[in-house]
Amino acid sequence: MDEKKQFLCGVVEGFYGRPWSMDQRKVLFQWMQRWGLNTYLYGPKDDLKHRLLWREVYSPEEEVQLRTLILEAQSRGLRFVYALSPGQDIVFSSACDLTLLKRKLRQVSDLGCQAFAVLFDDIDHSMCQADSEVFSSFAHAQVNVTNEIYRFLGEPPVFLFCPTEYCGSLCSPSVSKSPYLQTVGEDLLPNITVIWTGSKVISRKLSVECLAEVESVLQRPPLIWDNLHANDYDSRRLFLGPFKGREPQLRRHLRGLLLNPNCEFEANYIPLHTLGSWYRVGKEEQKDECEECDYCPDRALSTALHDWMEELNQPLQAGRQSTRADQRTSAPPSRCKTPDRSDCPSTFRGSPAVAKLPVFPLNSSSPPSSPTKVKEEREGRDGERKRLNPPSQANYQAPPSGGSRGQKTQGRVICSGKGLLSESQVRLLVGLHYLPHEHGPSAQKLLQDLTWLKSNCHLVSANTKKTPPQKVDEWRGRASRFLSLCEDIAQLHCSVVGGANRAVLYDLYPYVWDLRNTALMAKAFICWLDGRVLSDSSTLGSWRNCFHWCGKTTGADLLGVESEPWVFKGGVSGEVQMLLPIGSSSELFSHPPPLFPTSRLYNIRPYHSKDKVELYRMVRQLHLRTQGGQESSMAHPDIIGDRCLGPCLALCPEYSFILEDELGVCGCVLGILDVRSFAKRCQATWIPAMKDKYPPKGGNTHPNTQDLIQLMEEDQGEYPDSLLYHFPSQLRLDALPELVDISVSRTLLTALLNALKANGSQGVFCEVQPTDRQRLEFLTKLGFLEILRGEARSREGVVLGRLL
């Protein structure tokens, strides 16, 4: 086939972030050969010798790696295109820079590469003084250098040029009237192909009309650099959906199409599989060899999903590192989205920092880092088993409908071992991480239900007037469906972590974990709404009317139909977050996942009266640990609980939340909506009740109980008006130190902040001992600031406050 006429279809590794490893690229080439793709373009933005240090030649070791990769691509029938990005600091009029550019590309050509690309994307339009004296425009400078390099390399059949105005939205004043594109079209040698991304950097659709316009200006059919699945602009988004929005008929107006996919290698199975289906349909259409030549994204997705199921349940190494036991050409070490550039001068070094990732058999608990830690962890959790009752359906409290979901949660078991992901779970995973402009079915349902439940929560508010029973039943039925989906998300997280495929785990875990935490929080909030939220006299401007979108479109569409996806960040997690009362507080939601993934199931729910015994037992256990495990004179088991938790559980239980795992209760957060009124109620009812419970005289009196009464009275002492004016609410957080995933404590606290904000609080504070540095640091990261020290009721506590 004439190389100048073949349609180029494949993959461009052109994202920002740590580039893929050599092993990953070899697996990529296997996939591409299997699915009929033909072209791979090497151009990762964060390979220093591709962009920032483009003048430097590759070392002998790097040459070996690059030659091996080129030969591997060619052995698979693929065209290897080497791209260089000199635009950030090249002096176009400099003979020295031109010589260095030629030297670099000649080195790669000598390694066997026969196709090249010169990229001038994402750079400043301005020219330096020296260039301004030689060239009439920025476009002339770029075209002059590109033409010379093209001739120097012997006019290879595939040579690509990426303009600075590479999409419609970047053209000034428009595509058809852009002087820059007109110069490129007129002066760039005709056999050089121009790269284009569509009407936007990330184009929802590519139309024949728009491509015809740019083809006319460039005087040649462009090659599409397709960013549909690129996710390097948002650390909380992943795109597992099918190739979509590009009709196969577009091929007639294109030189080729290369997909720039997710940074996470393992996330690209479905995008590339469906791209192959799209390409094959286009070829069959040209040959008129098929009765049905239409490309159907849903049909392609089903086929790709079926094939991915086998891949997902393979026992692959973390990062797909090659092992002696696995003689197959294996894939890649995992990467992070924001690499340390100093650790990765070039990606032709085998497996860089990725190899440092821990590889361990993840079961239901945290992996050990040392024998001592293993022993401490085991002893701690064994102590919990003895201390806490076995988990039961009470661990997963019924939804607002009064327990209709009890049977479903009763059968939950600890997620351990290497399980298999079911097809329904994989469809859920894809639906929650679909496409930049479109949610999948599961995400649509999640957002639609949450939006409706939020907008109609007045039906089940604590102070609502009589509501028709059928309306209440409708709200609770929809809440039950929403909570069930949230539990499915938690189970998906568990299955991904407990699965056999470590490669998939390390690439997808941050996203599955983030959505799990978001679902935990949303689930807790919906459970809390029933009978606890206060109904406003007017909802205008309240948190319930912050946003009104739901369904198929994404948050960015509210800000403009043609907005780029990065305008609204966070994906499904971000949109769920923004539907919550404190959704605009990004510091509560943006935090890294734990170093060691755990498949333990967690649940956050409102407090119920039957939890009191377990909570009292937990805080008593925590207190004994601080006392060295000695019972001392604290013979009465309720003394610590009555002081630390009793007032809140008795007087305002509606602002208490429980954290539990498979072993039982492992944390709680208690809140007070209005500290002033609470203190008065406490003096009127709680303190007298405690005096009756711990009388000053009698045979059953225990030592130090009267000290307890005095401390309780001091606890309810007055805070300064200057504090309560801005921070009328108060909280207390307790969690067992054995928590494997500390982020759930953050989620637990955020659940309470949502409840306080929903019922009108504008700020919350808590008191921490100055010596408790871990808690101080934890709260500071969540936006709490020190507002009082030592002044609070003449005690040593540090008061931290946070506006809501």
Residue 422 CA, chain-centre distance (Å), reads 22
Cis? peptide before 173, omega within 30° of 0: yes
Q: Is residue 730 within 8 Å of residue 741, measured between CB atoms?
A: no
Distance, CA of 470 to CA of 461 (rounded, Å): 15
Both structure tokens of 40: 């791979």
Pairing assessment for the beta strands 798-803 and 785-789 based on DSSP bridges: antiparallel
Q: How far, in Å, CA of 802 to CA of 797, rounded?
A: 16
- Rg (the chain; Cα; Å): 31
The full 3-state SS of 257-294, as one line of letters, equals EEECCCCCHHHHHHHHHHHHHHHHHHHHHHHCCCCCCC
Structure token digits, residue 240: 């597992």
Return the closest-CA partner of residue 799 out of 723, 748, 726, 716.
Answer: 723
Q: Do residues 89 and 53 make contact, with C-beta atoms less than 8 angstroms apart?
A: no
Backbone φ, ψ for residue 385 (5° rounding) = -60, -40
Tokens standing for 244? 């979509």
Percent composition of the chain: helix, strand, coil (DSSP 3-state, to 5): 45, 10, 40
Q: How far apart are CA 570 and CA 568, in angstroms?
A: 7
User: Which helix H or strand E contains 302, and what residues bound it?
Assistant: helix 297-312
Residues noted as catalytic: 122
Residues found in the chain = 804
Rounded Cα distance between 29 and 331, Å, is: 10
Separation of alpha carbons 804 and 726, rounded Å? 10
Distance of CA 103 to the CA centre of its chain: 41
* Rounded distance between C-alpha atoms, residue 799 and residue 563, angstroms: 43
Report the SS3 class of residue 158.
strand
Contact (Cβ atoms closer than 8 angstroms) between residue 21 and residue 335: yes
CA neighbor of 77 nearest in space, from 156, 154, 6:
6
Q: How far apart are CA 101 and CA 293, in angstroms?
A: 44
Q: What is the distance between the alpha carbons of residues 205 and 562, in angstroms, rounded to a whole number?
A: 11
State the alpha helices, DSSP H only, in 530-645.
Answer: 571-578, 612-626, 639-644
Please say whether the beta carbons of 196 and 215 come within 8 A.
no
SS (H, E, C) 692-745: HHCCCCCCCCCCCHHHHHHHHHHHCCCCCHHHHHHCCEEEEEEECCCCCCCHHH
Alpha-carbon gap, residue 91 to 11, rounded angstroms: 30
Given its phi and psi angles, is residue 722 left (phi above 0), alpha (psi -120 to 50 degrees) or beta? alpha
Q: How far apart (Å, rounded) are the C-alpha atoms in residues 498 and 599?
A: 6
From first CA to last CA, the distance across the chain in angstroms is 65
3-state secondary structure 10-49: EEEECCCCCCCCHHHHHHHHHHHHHHCCCEEEECCCCCCC
Q: Return the number of other C-beta atoms located less than 10 Å from residue 434's C-beta.
A: 25
C-alpha 490 chain-centroid distance: 15
